[in-house]
C-alpha cells in the first residue's frame, strides 16, 4: 500500500466518514482546483415589485435561459376585497396573454384562531385540469388590517423548449374567517414553448404587497 493511500486510510472511519484530523491547513492549501458546481445555489435578485391598490403584478422581463430555476417571494400580499383568491398565470408571448394550459394539485392545513377547527385536506376546487385559467395560490384571502399572504412560487427551467414547465408553491395566510392556512400547490404548464412572463393578481379587486423574483444559480 502506497504512502498516500495509507495516509488516507488512517483518516477515515470504517463507515466512510472523514476524521477531523484529515482536514488540516496543509491539505486545504494543496488543493489546486475545485468543481465549480460545488458552489452552485446562489440566489440573484432580478426584480422587485410592490403593489399599492394595484390590479396585478406582472414580471415580463428577466425570465430567460440565464437561470434554470426562478423563485418568487410574496411579502404581505393583502387584497382590498374580502374572501378572494390570490392566483397566477404564465405567458409564452412576453405578457400579451396569460393563458398557458395547466394541470395542478392543491392541498392545505388549517387551524382556526379559537381552536374550533383543524384540518388537513385536498381541495379540488382550487386545482386545474388542462385549464388556461389562473391558478389559485391562496384562496379565501381576507382584507382585514391584520390579514395577508406570504410564501413562494418556484418555476423550473421556464426557457426549455423540450419539456413542460413544472412549478411548486407554498404559502401561509390569515384567512378571511380567522383561520391560519398553509397551502401547498404543484403542477405544470403543459407547453414546450418557453415561459417568459408571470402575472399575479386577485380573483376580484386590487391588492397590496411586494413580490421579489430571484434567479437560482
Read off the pLDDT of residues 64-86 as tens digits, 9 standing for 90 and up: 999 999 999 999 999 999 999 99
Residues 22 and 45 in one domain: no
Same domain, 57 and 124: yes
Q: What confidence category does residue 26 fall into, taking pLDDT thresholds of 50, 70 and 90? A: low
- List pLDDT tens digits, range 28-53: 455 555 455 445 569 999 999 999 99
> What is the average pLDDT value for the chain, to the nearest integer?
89
Instruction: Round the CA-based radius of gyration of the chain to a whole number and report it.
Output: 23
Q: Are 176 and 139 within one domain?
A: yes
Record the cell numbers describing residue 113, joined without a space. 384562531
Domain encompassing residue 211:
38-216
Check whether residue 21 and residue 124 sit in a common domain: no
Question: Does one domain contain both 71 and 169?
Answer: yes
Residues 22 and 54 in one domain: no
Which CATH number characterizes residue 187's domain? 2.60.120
Is 52 in the same domain as 74? yes
Number of domains the chain contains: 2
Task: Assign 29 to helix, strand or coil.
Answer: helix
Quick: pLDDT tens for 145-172. Answer: 889 999 999 999 999 999 999 999 999 9
21 & 98 share domain: no
Q: How far apart are CA 70 and CA 91, in angstroms?
A: 15
Both 78 and 53 in one domain: the answer is yes
Tell me which residue of 178, 177, 181, 157 sits closest to 168, measured CA to CA: 157
Cα 128 to Cα 180: distance, rounded to the nearest angstrom? 24
Q: What is the pLDDT of residue 87?
A: 97
If asked whether residues 47 and 61 sit together in one domain, one would say: yes
Residues 52 and 25 in one domain: no
Mark whether 175 and 135 lie in a shared domain.
yes
Cβ contact 137:169 at 8 Å: yes
Amino acid at each position: 500500500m502506497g504512502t498516500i493511500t495509507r495516509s488516507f486510510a488512517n483518516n477515515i472511519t470504517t463507515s466512510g466518514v472523514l476524521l477531523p484530523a484529515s482536514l488540516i491547513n496543509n491539505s486545504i492549501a494543496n488543493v489546486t482546483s475545485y468543481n465549480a458546481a460545488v458552489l452552485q445555489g446562489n440566489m440573484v435578485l432580478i426584480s422587485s415589485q410592490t403593489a399599492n391598490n394595484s390590479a396585478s403584478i406582472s414580471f415580463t422581463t428577466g425570465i430567460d435561459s440565464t437561470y434554470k430555476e426562478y423563485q418568487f417571494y410574496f411579502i404581505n400580499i393583502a387584497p382590498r376585497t374580502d374572501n378572494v383568491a390570490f392566483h397566477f398565470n404564465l405567458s409564452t408571448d412576453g405578457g400579451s396573454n396569460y393563458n398557458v394550459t395547466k394541470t395542478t394539485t392543491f392541498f392545505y392545513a388549517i387551524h382556526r384562531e379559537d381552536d374550533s377547527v383543524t384540518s388537513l385536506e385536498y381541495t379540488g376546487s382550487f386545482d386545474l385540469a388542462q385549464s388556461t385559467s389562473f391558478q389559485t395560490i391562496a384562496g379565501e384571502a381576507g382584507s382585514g388590517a391584520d390579514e395577508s399572504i406570504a410564501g413562494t412560487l418556484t418555476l423550473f427551467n421556464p426557457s426549455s423548449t423540450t419539456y413542460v414547465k413544472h412549478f411548486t408553491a407554498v404559502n401561509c395566510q390569515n384567512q378571511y374567517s380567522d383561520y391560519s392556512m398553509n397551502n401547498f400547490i404543484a403542477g405544470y404548464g403543459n407547453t414546450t414553448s418557453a415561459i417568459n412572463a408571470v402575472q399575479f393578481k386577485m380573483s376580484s379587486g386590487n391588492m397590496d404587497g411586494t413580490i421579489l423574483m430571484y434567479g437560482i444559480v
